[in-house]
């Protein structure tokens, strides 16, 4: 009996020695070490003080904390970025980085959104993982946790997908619309699918940078159908040539109104002798009607704009999204100089509005101000308000209007 035990021990020692001297071992160990210390690994660059759902969430749900919700949504967008990077770097299921960004929150990947032009992954649908939650004694979904989340990434400056990403960036810059993109239709179909399956109140759409532009327009397209989903948009683009043209049209309209206010009333001739050179009242009203419609303020809306209030997260040092904080045309803005977990600010006007969260850290480099990682950093101080700026109204009305 003793001899048999010694033989087994020797056999184990011999197997261990054989593995240790195997030429494949150093490579395998080095690979695992690299993956463990990868800069995009969840435990390296992810949030520090965010707990996974547990049985306590059945009593007091973490999802009711706006800070927690913002952090998780930003993590889901990071997962969308990493799905594409995992694809480009041919990572296996065991070494993939993306799953680590949704597994801690008890979600699972149900769909990847593919751009048929280059095969890149530009988004994903994550659904509540009931089985994983049950394993940690979370027998029901915590209050406030969505059943499904559509996450859309922004631009990746790598050769395999950079061309299509920049193509859509330029599309928004030129037209302030992404409806002509392949990605718009794919994202809209995915959002419609989960909204009809789970109900719009149980679905959320999130995006960063270019992805936030898609999320805003896809969310609004779904709102035309009367389906209002929760939306969290990080660093959404706010600069475009179309916006500049609308501003020019608006200024021209103001100048024309001032000019007309200096002219005689409509029932009096412009010139004392005859009708030569008289300006037709119809032409005046026609121009007045044309100018507002040029920037989307003279078209009937198919739904009540106040029913859909997206969450916009902007950094005032980020020149891509900073125009959302422009004071021009603001009808109401009540700021809360505290952390995000404050009571809601009520909007009493009838204009379309968004819940705006602004980070102000003074002058920052663009990479920091536009980065996604800032939105899950610890002790984040934000100013929050229900915001009805001219830009937000234009964004909402132009997409809600009947065409």
Express each pLDDT in 255-285 by its tens digit: 556 655 665 555 555 445 544 444 454 444 4
Q: What's the angle, vertex CA 153, arms to CA 226 and CA 324, rounded to 5?
A: 65
Task: Provide CB contacts within 8 A for 318, sequence distance 6+.
Answer: 235, 366, 369, 370
* CATH number attached to the domain at 42-253+308-324+353-399: 3.40.50
Q: Is the pTM of this model over 0.75?
A: no
Weakest-pLDDT range from 48-57, 180-189, 301-310, 317-326: 301-310
- State how far the Cα of 352 lies from the Cα of 347, in Å rounded to an integer: 10
Is there a contact between 345 and 385 (Cβ–Cβ < 8 Å)? yes
pLDDT of 188 strictly over 90: yes
Q: In which element (H, E) is residue 356 found?
A: strand 354-359
List pLDDT tens digits, range 5-41. Answer: 444 445 434 444 443 444 443 434 344 445 668 899 9
What pLDDT is stored for residue 265 in this prediction?
58
List pLDDT tens digits, range 47-70. Answer: 988 888 888 887 888 999 999 999
With a pLDDT cut of 90, the percent of the chain lying above it is 39
What pLDDT is stored for residue 230 in this prediction?
95
With a pLDDT cut of 70, the percent of the chain lying above it is 63
What pLDDT is stored for residue 1 in this prediction?
43
The pLDDT mean for the chain works out to 75
Question: Strands (DSSP E) along 28-142, which ranges?
Answer: 107-115, 120-128
């Amino acid at each position: 009996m003793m001899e048999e035990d010694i033989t087994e021990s020797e056999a184990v020692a011999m197997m261990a020695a054989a593995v240790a001297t195997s030429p494949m071992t150093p490579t395998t160990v080095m690979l695992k070490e690299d993956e463990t210390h990868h800069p995009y690994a969840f435990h390296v660059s992810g949030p520090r003080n965010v707990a996974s759902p547990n049985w306590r969430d059945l009593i007091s749900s973490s999802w009711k904390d706006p800070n927690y919700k913002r952090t998780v949504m930003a993590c889901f967008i990071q997962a969308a970025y990493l799905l594409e990077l995992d694809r480009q770097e041919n990572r296996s299921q065991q070494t993939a980085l993306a799953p680590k960004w949704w597994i801690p929150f008890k979600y699972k990947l149900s769909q990847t959104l593919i751009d048929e032009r280059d095969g890149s992954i530009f988004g994903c649908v994550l659904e509540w993982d009931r089985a994983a939650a049950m394993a940690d004694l979370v027998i029901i979904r915590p209050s406030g946790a969505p059943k499904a989340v559509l996450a859309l990434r922004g631009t990746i400056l790598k050769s395999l997908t950079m061309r299509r990403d920049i193509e859509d960036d330029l599309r928004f810059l030129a037209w302030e619309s992404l409806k002509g993109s392949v990605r718009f239709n794919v994202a809209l179909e995915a959002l419609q699918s989960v909204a009809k399956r789970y109900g719009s109140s149980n679905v959320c759409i999130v995006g960063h940078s270019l992805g936030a532009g898609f999320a805003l327009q896809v969310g609004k397209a779904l709102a035309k159908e009367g389906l209002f989903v929760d939306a969290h948009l990080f660093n959404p683009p706010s600069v475009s040539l179309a916006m500049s043209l609308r501003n020019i049209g608006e200024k021209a309209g103001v100048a024309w109104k001032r000019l007309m206010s200096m002219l005689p009333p409509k029932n009096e001739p412009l010139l004392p002798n005859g009708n030569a050179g008289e300006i037709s009242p119809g032409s005046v009203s026609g121009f007045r009607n044309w100018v507002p419609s040029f920037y989307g303020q003279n078209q009937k809306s198919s739904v009540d704009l106040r029913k859909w209030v997206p969450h916009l997260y902007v950094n005032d040092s980020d020149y891509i999204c900073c125009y959302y904080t422009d004071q021009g045309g603001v009808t109401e803005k009540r700021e809360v100089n505290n952390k995000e977990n404050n009571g809601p600010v009520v909007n009493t006007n009838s204009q379309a509005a968004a819940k705006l969260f602004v980070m102000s850290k003074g002058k920052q480099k663009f990479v920091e101000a536009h980065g996604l990682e800032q939105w899950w950093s610890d002790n984040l101080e934000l100013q929050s308000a229900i915001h009805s700026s001219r830009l937000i109204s234009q964004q909402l009305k132009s997409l809600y209007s009947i065409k």
